[in-house]
Structure 1
Amino acid sequence: MDFIFEAIADFAAIATAVVAVSAWGSVLWDRRRRRRALEDYLKNEAEKAPGAGKRTLTHLVARLKMTESEILHAAFSSKKIICPFAVDPTSGRAKELLFEYEP
């Protein structure tokens, strides 16, 4: 009888590992998909109007249907996206974070 419980425990441990690795792979795949969507969108915008490819966070949320945190994570994990900022002319402080594709 102990053999059956040991076999069930071994199977449960293996199944747990398989589920954990699958979930981890799914998260990595989803992050990669979001990063690529952001890179592709910014690249297309830069090609349409050279020099005018900067986009705000609000613009990207509306166009890409992603949350602010998803866009920030995708942008900061990308080597092809730079994040300059817009300066308020009256105070001289940063007022908005912009996103731009840089080949």
Structure 2
Amino acid sequence: MTIIVVLVATIEVVVVVVVVVVVVVVVVVVVVVAVVVVVVVVVAVTVEVGAVLVEMMADESEAHLLYCGCDAWQLRALIEILFRHATPLTTLKHLCLGAV
């Protein structure tokens, strides 16, 4: 009789441990998937916003062309360089004057 009680208690403990492990694994997987989805969405939105800003700045290029003497393709390339390598010293004026 004591052996049966010990076996039942052992089986209950094993079942509880297995259930806890499964729940923890499921929670970890859900959290990891959620983080990956958030990162992908943030990266996609950032890339899209950057592309839109580059397009908007290039569309307003006439005044900049008069200012620095660049043609439209040069200006688009310079704007893209600004977005990729922006520092306080790399302004459109510096780039147009050849201080790249």
What's the TM-score bracket when you normalise by the shorter of the two chains?
0.5 to 0.7
Rg bigger for which structure? 2
Question: In the alignment, what sits opposite 1:28?
Answer: 40
Cα separation, 2, equivalents of 1:10 and 1:38: 42
Structure 2's unaligned 5+ residue stretches are 1-12, 63-71, 89-94
**1:23 positional shift:** 0.6
Cα separation, 2, equivalents of 1:42 and 1:9: 49
Cα separation, 1, equivalents of 2:29 and 2:36: 11
Which runs of 4 or more aligned residues in structure 1 lie more than 6 Å from their structure 2 counterparts after TM superposition?
none
As a proportion of its length, which structure holds more strand?
A: 1
Cα separation, 2, equivalents of 1:26 and 1:42: 24
Matched residues, number: 65
Is 1:4 the counterpart of 2:33 in the alignment?
no
As a proportion of its length, which structure holds more helix?
A: 2
Question: In the alignment, what sits opposite 2:87?
Answer: 58
Higher relative contact order structure (alpha carbons within 8 Å, sequence separation ≥ 6): 1
* TM-score, with length taken from structure 1: 0.53
Aligned identity (percent) is: 9
**1:58 positional shift:** 3.3
Structure 1's unaligned 5+ residue stretches are 60-85, 90-94, 97-103
Q: Which amino acid aligns with 2:46?
A: R
CA displacement, residues 34-53 of structure 1 (integer Å, 9 cap, x when unaligned): 10111000001111125134
Question: In the alignment, what sits opposite 1:15?
Answer: 27
* TM-score, with length taken from structure 2: 0.55
